[in-house]
Amino acid sequence: MSTITYREAIVRAQREALAADPRVILMGEDIGAAGGPFKTTEGLFEEFGPLRVRDTPISENAFVGAAMGMALTGYRPVIELMFADFMGVCFDQIVNSIAKHRFMCGGKVAVPVTIRAMGGGGVRFGAQHSQTGETWVYQFPGLKVFCPASPADAYLMLRQAIDDPDPVIVLEHKAMMAMKGEIQTDAGRWPAQRPQVVRPGRDVTLVASLAMVRRAMAAADALAAQGIQAEVIDLRVLRPLVAEPIIDSVTRTGALVVVEENHESGGWGAEIVARALTAAFDYIDKPPVRVTLPDWPMPYSPALEDAAVPSVQKIVDAVLAQH
Amino acid sequence: MSTITYREAIVRAQREALAADPRVILMGEDIGAAGGPFKTTEGLFEEFGPLRVRDTPISENAFVGAAMGMALTGYRPVIELMFADFMGVCFDQIVNSIAKHRFMCGGKVAVPVTIRAMGGGGVRFGAQHSQTGETWVYQFPGLKVFCPASPADAYLMLRQAIDDPDPVIVLEHKAMMAMKGEIQTDAGRWPAQRPQVVRPGRDVTLVASLAMVRRAMAAADALAAQGIQAEVIDLRVLRPLVAEPIIDSVTRTGALVVVEENHESGGWGAEIVARALTAAFDYIDKPPVRVTLPDWPMPYSPALEDAAVPSVQKIVDAVLAQH
Amino acid sequence: MAGKSSEATGRVVSIASVLGAAGARTAYEKLLLIREFENKVYDSFVAGLVQGTTHLCQGQEAVSVGTVMALRDDDYLTYTYRGHGPCIARGMDLEGAFAEIFGRSTGVSGGLGGSMHLTDMQLGLLGSFAIVGAGLPVAVGAGISARERGIGQVSMTWFGDGATNIGAFHESMNLAAVWKLPVIFVCENNLYGEYSPILSTTPMQDLVVRASAYAMPGVVVDGNDVVAVLDATRRAVARARAGDGPTFIECKTYRQCGHSRSDAGKYRPPGELDAWMERDPIVLFRNRLLAEGLLDKAGLAATEQRVREEVQAAAARAAEGPWPEVRPLHDATYAGTLTA
Amino acid sequence: MAGKSSEATGRVVSIASVLGAAGARTAYEKLLLIREFENKVYDSFVAGLVQGTTHLCQGQEAVSVGTVMALRDDDYLTYTYRGHGPCIARGMDLEGAFAEIFGRSTGVSGGLGGSMHLTDMQLGLLGSFAIVGAGLPVAVGAGISARERGIGQVSMTWFGDGATNIGAFHESMNLAAVWKLPVIFVCENNLYGEYSPILSTTPMQDLVVRASAYAMPGVVVDGNDVVAVLDATRRAVARARAGDGPTFIECKTYRQCGHSRSDAGKYRPPGELDAWMERDPIVLFRNRLLAEGLLDKAGLAATEQRVREEVQAAAARAAEGPWPEVRPLHDATYAGTLTA
Ligand SMILES: Cc1ncc(C[n+]2csc(CCOP(=O)(O)OP(=O)(O)O)c2C)c(N)n1
Ligand SMILES: Cc1ncc(C[n+]2csc(CCOP(=O)(O)OP(=O)(O)O)c2C)c(N)n1
Ligand SMILES: [Mg+2]
Ligand SMILES: [Mg+2]
């Protein structure tokens, strides 16, 4: 165990992967000497050199596709896409090539590509630099989608992603870069790749991901003061989605509130609600509530951005209104 | 009223729009003299010439982005993207530029772009040419997403899309091209842009889109023979999603089954289930069911493709299992 | 001239012959305006008035001014996150620009866009794109409109050296070339994409050679010489207006500050910045104005004073602007009425 | 040689000097094999054994054979929906290929891929891409591997003239050039993208000029002359193996049949097809084999007979193949175990 930031956890996971496996190669814009636009590759260029930590041209479609070519021929590329919004310029390679190639080959190949992308709002970057990307990719079979909401997960999920024989998209959240926490380096103690109860409670199940987990936790604190014990579940893995922990929880609490940093229509919250209500139909006694981004792009103005991203207060209010 | 095919309805809508408004310009690959890969622009090049019906290079990102530039400067471009799967290569322009530009300009401009793309399975085109595209785009505020499930809607939705001041993605289904039906040319009689009950029933609400509507109708016939009266709702407009007709229906039937040609995780079916169960919580007395594609890419082999796309029998079975 | 370093390079043209006295004053004023504007944005960032990030263009002002001055009022423009230059050169309201960057409701886009998204349709400022390369296809589309409308409009788009490696650049160049559209592609080759020197990402330093891949005329110009930029752009614009199609203009220039707010520019080889500071476009032009006797020191000082005051006053007014009201923003998202 | 029609064009090299007698026989056999294979796929479509669509390459066989014969067993290949040629030239099992196209479980990908997606990792056949341009980045990635591994492997990718207008082409060419990767870009310029003649979508007919935009050597070769193709490819491969980076090879050829199953080819100017049929790559090579005395008529006839029988037999066996069992396909989707 050691206490580091979310950003440092990302660096460390990559450093260890590079050291452990010569097949691991990092690629992305300005990840070399500059250490990455978010400093998530700091020091790695110095340590592993320009062939293992490669600065690319601004050609996302080419280097994401190249990652697949590398994976098919024995390497384990790790791509840094910088902003998750940039998945737009390489979407074809992600969803049509990388996600489907193994399948189209009859399952005869593996495509061990890791793609890291940093998303999310709250940092005044405007409509084209604030999307989490979660709902862009979690619908595609063939991909795995990891969403680390703590330094511990930023570390272990990235290590798991790089080790995984399948393509994994790791969606990091830029508002969490400085968040501190303990990491678990002993792989034997890593939790399973599924949602995790991060705070137990008996009255309502709060499901959140990425930066919303902290807010859900804070809301649970506030609710506890008002006598409502919220159970908080960190969704963690968006695909493949394992609903059991959520179903189990709502079966006990009887109420579900999801908190996500995506628009309501098309958000993963609907999937959670649908699965929970289908499986625990007889146990849920309150209409579920979704706390999401509003139905417009992310505004730039701080006043409006803060009003858009689900706040602790909004989560509290949603739970109170439900109860 | 006149009886034509789905494909002819698409041609007709474009012909009328071209004739009515000199600002309308069609662009796409091989839509000119060749009449379009799906023959959905047949005869238009001959009638309106090469400047109004433009063959493009294979440069989707450029001509979709160009459509926005044309729209901002006084024209009304209509793009044919051919296969919906090709949205991957121009995803950035669709979701980051076209969807958000008006908003980022403070609402001071309109972006009247129409994008037509043909999707869906059942025609042995394999994993990269069979996706409906519905779940790729319906999550983005700023876009409208129309899904015509009949010649009537293929005609009127395309006319509405071209007239709309906002960007509209019209997702046509290639397995329906030869479907015949009546079209309504009198705009005064067009239904509102929302889901529509296409068959009334009292026992269960079936919600479907595109090619699944026909199958849901056939399933309703089969169910009627077994004494179950299914109400079938054609979803029609995925964004903005108007849930009232569905909520109203499930309030009466108490049971919901959605049928869609997308994977379960990330499908719009979850959104329908979530909205219906949230709003009509006290009226629904059976767990909802989703009939979807399985959680793998579309297989090429006819045997496997037919097993993957929701069949009439699967819909019937789902309803029977629910009841 | 396709694929060759053009005749424009190295050619010294007199200010008077290209700009005239009044034009020279305007150009000087615009150069200063952009410089002062960017400096003020920087200060405002430091002062906490601007959050997020911002990408400034000090050192590249001559490209904005020289290219924009070749345009007509009804021409179209698209540009990038580093796009304050073309906006100010085009005459964007300074208070509105500052207010947008400060996130105020008085901003040109009501605070919804921000520093990376200054636009003003009245001025043909169609859009500022934060995704590298994304503005080029849009400019091509405006070029289609211009061509269709048939009144000699042109469309101009700015982008960096790094942007020439993204697919959108290629597709746009080809489309403009094959349809002979009136589009001017202005490449601001400032030697870096973020922190990457051009030769680490591109197998050549002279990007003009890329024009020949589209049978498109290409010219290289000293991007720190506003007169040369204007001169070269005028020729390209004339070709476009005459129906002779697009031109690629490579402007060799330098970004004097970091890529964005958080960049200290440590990747620069020693001496490089200093060398370019000596070729500062404003200083160069100022010296030539004096040498050619188009403005005297007093006149220059008066202009400088006026511009500085104008910028400071606009920023001050912008900082007083109210925050946008928190309200549903459906109407900013959609132009049509929603059934929902 | 960047940007110029290369020395390879027009140069007539003797078969014997390039291929030797055994190589000549192999080349002839491979040419025939592809032709017979494609003809049989066509017939199978008409007979209802193939559904959906299929994109055939009759007329372009010399490109597949000439380029593939320059490769080593451990090289990598990516190609397109019109990719049966490279697969057969590389030695893909014929029954497995037919069975895949027929959708049978005995297909090379168990029927999951189909006509547009023939692959065989054992042969370095990494992937067939149905999205125009999508195979190029993947080949670049294989080129990175090849370069890293350091045993002289190369990566080769095929694409059409139309594909040179998509962003992925540009980004891939640049990346391969700037990293000096051992990638051979084989452009099959068959004059059409679907139904669009090249000059309607591209401002030039000679695509080789595009290589110079990446400071990459480019050569043009008669794509219907298998010897010329092999000769040019060998040089490119040698450069790549030596660490001297990528080459762009433009093969001028012609698609004798329609774009896909539903295309009758009405867009062709009268006489064009006939002229190209006279330059049929198999007839040309056959005549030269006879002229150079490398095979006599009897030898040719025997080869033709053998190939035809081999193809027919493979197709017949494939048609007997069982349909894939309807079962959960999670294991075909993911290589790892799923917690779900
Ligand atoms: C598609 C995409 N990839 C990456 C980025 C991040 N990014 C922003 S600016 C920039 C560098 C652009 O360099 P250049 O085109 O030379 O323009 P300059 O910033 O020098 O004006 C990068 C990589 C982006 N905005 N969009
Ligand atoms: C991104 C994308 N756009 C469009 C298509 C449809 N399409 C398939 S083949 C083709 C023509 C390609 O022409 P070319 O590159 O010359 O190759 P050829 O078919 O002549 O071998 C097109 C447009 C596609 N598959 N992918
Ligand atoms: Mg630059
Ligand atoms: Mg072609």
Three-class DSSP labels, chain A: CEEEEHHHHHHHHHHHHHHHCCCEEEEECCCCCCCCCCCCCCCHHHHHCCCCEEECCCCHHHHHHHHHHHHHCCCEEEEEEEEHHHHHHHHHHHHHHHCCHHHHCCCCCCCCCEEEEEECCCCCCCCCCCCCCHHHHCCCCCCEEECCCCHHHHHHHHHHHHHCCCCEEEEEEHHHCCCEEEECCCHHHCCCCCCEEEECCCCEEEEECCHHHHHHHHHHHHHHHCCCCEEEEECCEEECCCCHHHHHHHHHHCCEEEEEEEECCCCHHHHHHHHHHHHCCCCCCCCCEEEEECCCCCCCCHHHHHHHCCCHHHHHHHHHHHC
Residue B128 to residue D201, Cβ atoms within 8 A: no
Q: Give me the sign of the Cα torsion angle C211, A89, D116, B178.
A: negative
Q: Does B66 touch chain C (CB under 8 A)?
A: yes
d(CA D310, CA C219): 59
Single-letter code of the amino acid located at A297: P
Distances (CA, A) of C121 to C55, C331, D59, D121: 22, 18, 52, 54
Instruction: Report CB contact under 8 Å: B266, A142.
Output: no
Look up residue C263 and give its two tokens: 């960049």
Residue of D nearest to C199 (CA): D178
Rounded mean pLDDT, C259-276:
87
B293 touches C at CB < 8 Å = no
Mean pLDDT across D76-94: 98
Q: How far apart are CA A275 and CA A233, in angstroms?
A: 15
Determine the length of chain C. Answer: 340
Please give the pLDDT value at position D5. 37
How many Cβ pairs closer than 8 A exist between chain A and C? 117
Q: How far is D219 from chain B (nearest CA, A)?
A: 23
Inter-chain touch B64–C137, beta carbons under 8 Å: yes
The pLDDT of residue D262 is: 75
Closest CB to D167 among C3, C167, C177: C167
> Which strand (E) or helix (H) includes residue B207?
strand B204-208
Residue B1 pLDDT level (bands cut at 50, 70, 90): low
C-alpha triplet D215, D216, D222: angle, nearest 5°: 135
* Range of weakest confidence among A35-39, A69-73, B25-29, C336-340: C336-340
* Residues B26-40, mean pLDDT to the nearest whole number: 96
End-to-end CA distance of chain B: 39
Residue C267 C-alpha to ligand 1 middle, in angstroms?
16
Quick one: pLDDT at residue C14? 87
The first and second tokens of residue B267, run together, are 């499908």
Residue nearest to atom 9 of ligand 2 (CA): D194
Residue D14's pLDDT is 87
Q: Tell me the CA–centroid distance for residue D310 and ligand 4, in Å.
A: 29
Average pLDDT rounded to a whole number, residues B6-29: 98
**Among B51, B177, B300, B313, which would you mutate to test the D interface (most chain D Cβ atoms within 10 Å of its Cβ)?**
B300
CA–CA gap between residue D206 and residue D221 (Å, rounded): 11
For residue D318, pLDDT beyond 70: yes
Cross-strand partners of C120: C125
The band of B210, judged by pLDDT with boundaries at 50, 70 and 90, is very high
Q: What is the pLDDT of residues B121-169, one digit of tens each?
A: 999 999 999 999 999 999 999 999 999 999 999 999 999 999 999 999 9
Which residue in the block uniquely carries the two structure tokens 């409670």? A201
- Rounded to an integer, the average pLDDT of D144-154 is 98
- Structure confidence at residue C12 (pLDDT): 67
Provide CB contacts within 8 A for B11, sequence distance 6+: B39, B40, B41, B42, B43, B44
Q: How high is the pLDDT of residue D260?
A: 83
Share of chain B above pLDDT 90, in %: 99
The answer to whether B269 contacts A274, with C-beta atoms less than 8 Å apart, is yes
Distance D134 CA to ligand 1 centre (A): 23
Residue C171 is predicted with a pLDDT of 98
Cα of D196 to ligand 4 centre, how many Å? 9
Chain centroid to Cα A247, Å, comes to: 21
Question: How far is C-alpha B120 from the geometric centre of its chain's CA atoms?
Answer: 10
Pairwise CA distance, residues C228 & C233, whole Å: 8
Is residue A60 flagged as an active site residue?
yes
| C53 has a chain A CB within 8 A of its CB | yes
Question: Which one-letter DSSP state was computed for residue C130?
Answer: S
D162 Cβ closer than 6 Å to some ligand 2 atom: yes
In this predicted model, what pLDDT tens digit does every residue of C71-124 receive, in sequence order? 999 999 999 999 999 999 999 999 999 999 999 999 999 999 999 999 999 999
How many contacts does B have with D, using Cβ atoms within 8 A?
117
Q: Where are the alpha helices (DSSP H) in chain D?
A: 15-46, 61-68, 84-90, 94-101, 135-149, 167-178, 226-241, 272-277, 281-291, 297-320, 330-333
D75-104 residues touching A, CB cutoff 8 A: 76, 78
Q: In which band, very low, low, confident or very high, does the pLDDT at C266 lie, cut at 50, 70 and 90?
A: confident
Six-digit token pair at D64?
Answer: 């597949």
| Element containing residue D248 per DSSP (H, E) | strand D247-252
- How far from B100 is each of A41, A135, C99, CA to CA, in Å? 31, 17, 20
pLDDT at C2 exceeding the cut of 60? no
Q: Looking at residue D267, what is its pLDDT?
A: 86
Chain A contact set for D78 (CB, 8 A): 69
Q: Report pLDDT for A119.
A: 98
Looking at A29, A60, A134, A261, which residue is catalytic?
A: A60
Residues of chain C with Cβ-Cβ distance to D209 below 8 Å are 212-213, 215
pLDDT of residue A186: 95
Is residue B231 helix, strand or coil? Answer: strand
Angle at D70 between CA D69 and CA D74, to 5 degrees: 95
Cβ(C190) – ligand 1 distance below 6 Å: yes
Q: Which domains does chain B have, with CATH numbers?
A: 2-183 (3.40.50.970), 196-322 (3.40.50.920)
In chain C, what are the domain boundaries?
Answer: 19-325
Test site for ligand 2: of D54, D194, D253, D255, most ligand atoms within 8 A of the Cβ: D194
Residue type, B73: T
Q: CA-to-CA distance for B17 and B15, rounded, in angstroms?
A: 5
Q: Residue whose CA is closest, atom 12 of ligand 2?
A: D193
Whether this model's ipTM surpasses 0.95 comes out as: yes
Q: Is B80 in the pocket of ligand 2 (CB under 6 A)?
A: no
Maximum separation of any 2 CA atoms in chain B, in Å:
58
- Per the CB < 8 A criterion, the answer to whether B113 and B98 are in contact is yes
User: Is the CB–ligand 2 distance for residue D131 below 6 Å?
Assistant: yes
Give the C-alpha separation, B76 to B168, whole Å: 11
Nearest CA in chain D to C173: D165
Question: Which pTM value belongs to this model?
Answer: 0.97
Residues of chain D with Cβ-Cβ distance to B37 below 8 Å are 194
Q: What is the pLDDT of residue D13?
A: 76
Which residues on C lie below 8 Å from B61 (Cβ)? Answer: 137, 167-168, 171
Which candidate, B167, B160, B164, B163, places its Cα nearest to that of B137? Answer: B167
Helices (H), B57-131: 60-72, 91, 101-104
Q: Is some CB atom of chain D closer than 8 A to the CB atom of A111?
A: yes
pLDDT of B26 higher than 70: yes
% of chain D surpassing 70 pLDDT: 96
Provide the residue-wise pLDDT of chain A in tens; the chain has 323 residues.
579 999 999 999 999 999 999 999 999 999 999 999 999 999 999 999 999 999 999 999 999 999 999 999 999 999 999 999 999 999 999 999 999 999 999 999 999 999 999 999 999 999 999 999 999 999 999 999 999 999 999 999 999 999 999 999 999 999 999 999 999 999 999 999 999 999 999 999 999 999 999 999 999 999 999 999 999 999 999 999 999 999 999 999 999 999 999 999 999 999 999 999 999 999 999 999 999 999 999 999 999 999 999 999 999 999 999 99
Considering only CA atoms, which residue is closest to atom 20 of ligand 2?
D193
Return phi, psi of residue A19, to 5°: -70, -35
pLDDT band at C8 (very low <50, low <70, confident <90, very high): very low
Q: Which helix (H) or strand (E) holds C300?
A: helix C297-320
Region C158-163 average pLDDT: 98
Closest CA to A162 of A23, A289, A304, A285: A23
Which among B29, B128, B299 has the least Cβ separation from residue D194? B29
Mutation for C interface: D136, D170, D199, most C CBs within 10 A: D170
Give CA–CA dist A37/C260, Å, rounded.
10
Ligand 2 centre to CA of C114 (Å) is: 39
Question: Best of B29, B30, B58, B64 to mutate for ligand 2, by most ligand atoms within 8 A of CB?
Answer: B58
Judged by CB atoms closer than 8 Å, whether chains meet at B304 and D201 is answered as no
Contact C176, C211 (CB under 8 A): no
Judged by CB atoms closer than 8 Å, whether chains meet at A107 and D332 is answered as: yes
Q: Does residue C262 surpass a pLDDT of 80?
A: no
In angstroms, rounded to a whole number, what is the distance separating the alpha carbons of residues D225 and D237? 18
With a cut of 90, say whether residue C5 has pLDDT above it.
no
Residue D340 pLDDT more than 80?
no
B58 touches chain A (CB under 8 A): no
pLDDT confidence bin for B54, thresholds 50/70/90: very high
**Number of Cβ pairs < 8 A linking chain C and chain D:** 59
pLDDT value for D11:
59
Query: Residue C265 has what pLDDT?
Result: 78
Do residue B57 and residue D53 have CB atoms under 8 angstroms apart? no
The beta strand positions in chain C, using DSSP E, are: 76-80, 125-129, 155-160, 183-189, 192-193, 196-197, 218-222, 247-252
* Architecture category of domain C19-325 in CATH: 3-Layer(aba) Sandwich (3.40)
Cα dihedral value B70, B71, B75, B79, nearest 10: 80
Contacts of C144 in chain B (CB under 8 A): 25, 66, 69-70, 75
The answer to whether the CB of B34 is under 6 A from ligand 2 is: no
Output the pLDDT for position D7: 43
CA B96 to chain centre: 21
d(CA B12, CA B39) in angstroms, rounded, equals 12
Pairing of strands D183-189, D155-160: parallel
Contact by Cβ (8 Å): A215, A314: no
Distance from CA of B297 to the nearest CA of A (A): 6
Angle at D70 between CA D64 and CA D74, to 5 degrees: 100
Identify the pLDDT of residue D12.
Answer: 67
**Nearest Cα to A43, choosing from A19, A64, A63, A21?**
A19
Query: Is residue B129 flagged as an active site residue?
Result: yes
CA of C188 from ligand 3 middle (Å) equals 7
pLDDT for position C1 = 32
